Structure 1
Amino acid sequence: MLGWHNIDPTPFYPAAPGAGRRGFERQLAAIDRLGTVVPLSDAVDTLAAGGSLPPRAVALTFDDGYADWLDAAVPALDRRGLHGTFFLVSDILSERIGAWWEELADAFDRCTATSLEWAGRTHDLTTPVARRAAQDALKDELKLVDRATRVEAVSRIAGRLAPPAPERPPMFLDWAGARALAATGHGIGSHTVTHPILAREDAATQRHELAASRTALEEGLGQTVDLLAYPNGNAGDYDQQTMELARAAGYRAAVTTRPGLVGPQEPPFAMHRVVLTPLTDVAELFGKVARKGTGMARRVVRTLTPTG
């Protein structure tokens, strides 16, 4: 299983103008040539029934609700007849919240401060390299706290780094965009209500994030939503309680960002996924699986990469 976030560059995912779209087209051409794209929902059903997927089967997924899905990702998929599954954050659609990782990156992009005192440390901000190191360090630290603490911290950090951000075109879909996305026939899944790192929250909060997002998406889009992507999705970002709560909320399966192949032996609520950017090449993509995966993964890499 493969996963993307954005296609066009953003503060958090910088790239040269146009590079994302060109790179994504190259990726899809290679995936179309080397693999067999299957809808994630169909793959989940097949594996649950003990069936076999086609040779070199791959499901394509997208997280967070970036606006460029509608004019970049979906058209590129449709030109090749490929299916994607798109995981949405219901409160981002409602414009109740922003994306904290993009807000943090944007503040660093517009930074006018030369240093930042935070949590007992002084971060040098005098060069682009120093600012990037500070941003990465703070991002990693903020992933270790609950959502309320994280949102407050991002607001305070941004206020110390730069003046208020100017008005810009929306970076994420709203409900009208989500309905347009659903109308394309691609799959829709939940990415929670507010994109918390679930294992950092108590059981009641996790239960609400999982159940309320599914309800909002089903009511807002008029279709069943029973696939989940854990926010962040690494080991430690979800746990056994999270998986049990996801099952209780009515999901059939959940995907992580832990690299590896998915097979009949994989727990349906901890499905592996290789996450990439539009600039990742095929050799690197499957190399990730080889470095993290099993002997079967290494055989897949040897089969695919010589012609990729």
Structure 2
Amino acid sequence: MSRRLLVLGWHNIDPTPFYPADPGAGRRGFDRQLAAIDKLATVVPLSEAVDTLAAGGSLPPRAVALTFDDGYADWLDAAVPALDRRGMHGTFFLVSDILSGRIGAWWEELADAFDRCTASSLEWAGRTHDLTTPAARLGAQAALKDELKLVDRATRVEAVARIAERIAPPPPERAPMFLDWAGARALAATGHGVGSHTVTHPILAREDADTQREELVESRRALESGLGQTVDLLAYPNGNAGDYDQQTMELARTAGYRAAVTTRPGIVGPHEPPYAMHRVVLTPLTDVGELFGKVARKGTGLAKKVVRTLAPTG
């Protein structure tokens, strides 16, 4: 038995503007990943693992918890069926205002604008971004994404809208990329776990304490009311070092969450703070066979190897 846990995280399965891939590649890759996990690890529900570690108990050898962020619509017809075929449990973190249709996903809106870009350049914040080639557009998008993560949510949302207006025509009508409340209820009915990813997906440490508190309290309230079940697990938006802090963790505790996961790669050990749990973020195209081969051969003391093997998507 073990006192260590590897938490893995995904976002989408099918390709999106922000997570591009060839058609069908995401589903094939995700199925290969689950096959490797099935062979080399023991999947445990995140909620049960949190309880076990808090009580000082032991987990199965090579224990792994599977998590998903943001509320992508393909969870229902891609992620959940793939998990169910193998009898695996996932925990899905939802953004309550995305479910309500009050907001979009700024990272996808930014990527979509660059996909549809018709401008040759963009003047932004005293800098000129070349947009004449696919590589230049990709570089500009990445630079702007990183800059926008450093500001508060209201500034970020306004900036994305202004950038999109300058570089691309209005977006066409498309099938929804994210779940609505009906989809979230269908997800909850599958028996998989549901957690909070805040109300509006802000980077919490960029917000004041009152805003952080509202994001944490109101998302939990909305999800519990809308889904009819307890929601006491949290995933910090973005989740890297600097995206949450000691104040954020204390606010999460007082809001009634039992634990929170980050995107800081590593293994959750027996003394891991429950409000700063390490997690390794994958895309469906990440090769996990090498990672789990190392786990099977050498045990679970692999935090540095995890960092080298899998780069988080942010």
Q: Same fold (TM over 0.5)?
A: yes
Q: Partner residue of 2:209?
A: 203
Q: Partner residue of 1:304?
A: none
Equivalences for residues 227-238 of structure 1 within 5 A: 227-238=233-244
Q: Say how many residue pairs are matched.
A: 297
Partners of 2:279 and 2:254 in 1: CA distance: 23
Q: Which amino acid aligns with 2:301?
A: M
170, 173, 178: which is aligned to 1:164?
A: 170
For residue 264 of structure 1, report the CA deviation from its aligned partner. 1.0
27, 33, 37: which is aligned to 1:27?
A: 33
Residues 285 and 300 of structure 1: is their aligned pair in 2 closer, same or farther, counting only changes over 3 Å?
A: closer
Say which is worse superposed, 276-285 or 247-256, in terms of deviation.
276-285
Show structure 2 runs of 5+ residues with no match.
Answer: 1-6, 307-314
Partners of 2:275 and 2:293 in 1: CA distance: 24
Residues 16 and 211 of structure 1: is their aligned pair in 2 closer, same or farther, counting only changes over 3 Å?
A: same
Q: Does 1:134 align with 2:121?
A: no
Q: Partner residue of 2:87?
A: 81
Q: Which amino acid aligns with 1:88?
A: L
Q: Partner residue of 1:108?
A: 114
Residues 298 and 165 of structure 1: is their aligned pair in 2 closer, same or farther, counting only changes over 3 Å?
A: closer
Q: Does 1:123 align with 2:129?
A: yes
When normalised by structure 2's length, the TM-score is 0.92
Q: Which amino acid aligns with 2:97?
A: D
Show structure 1 runs of 5+ residues with no match.
Answer: 302-308
287, 291, 302: which is aligned to 1:297?
A: 302
Equivalences for residues 260-275 of structure 1 within 5 A: 260-275=266-281
**Root mean square deviation of aligned Cα:** 1.7
When normalised by structure 1's length, the TM-score is 0.94
Partners of 2:304 and 2:154 in 1: CA distance: 44
Q: Which amino acid aligns with 1:140?
A: D
Matched residue SS, 2:177: coil
Partners of 1:300 and 1:281 in 2: CA distance: 14
Equivalences for residues 275-286 of structure 1 within 5 A: 275-283=281-289, 285=291
For residue 246 of structure 1, report the CA deviation from its aligned partner. 0.2
Partners of 1:161 and 1:4 in 2: CA distance: 30
For residue 288 of structure 1, report the CA deviation from its aligned partner. 11
Q: Which consecutive segments of 4 or more residues in structure 1 shift more than 6 A?
A: 298-301
Deviations 1:76-129 (A, max 9, x none): 000000000000000000000000000000000000000000000000000000
Q: Does 1:50 align with 2:56?
A: yes
Matched residue SS, 1:3: strand
Deviations 1:45-103 (A, max 9, x none): 00000111100000000000000000000000000000000000000000000000000
Q: Which amino acid aligns with 2:47?
A: S
Q: 8 Å contact 1:259–1:288 — kept in the other structure?
A: no
Q: Which amino acid aligns with 2:147?
A: E
For residue 286 of structure 1, report the CA deviation from its aligned partner. 5.6
Deviations 1:26-56 (A, max 9, x none): 0000001000000000000000001111000
Q: 8 Å contact 1:192–1:213 — kept in the other structure?
A: yes
Q: Does 1:39 align with 2:17?
A: no
Q: 8 Å contact 1:191–1:228 — kept in the other structure?
A: yes
Deviations 1:156-202 (A, max 9, x none): 00000101000000000000000000000000000000000000000
Q: Partner residue of 2:260?
A: 254
Q: 8 Å contact 2:260–2:276 — kept in the other structure?
A: yes
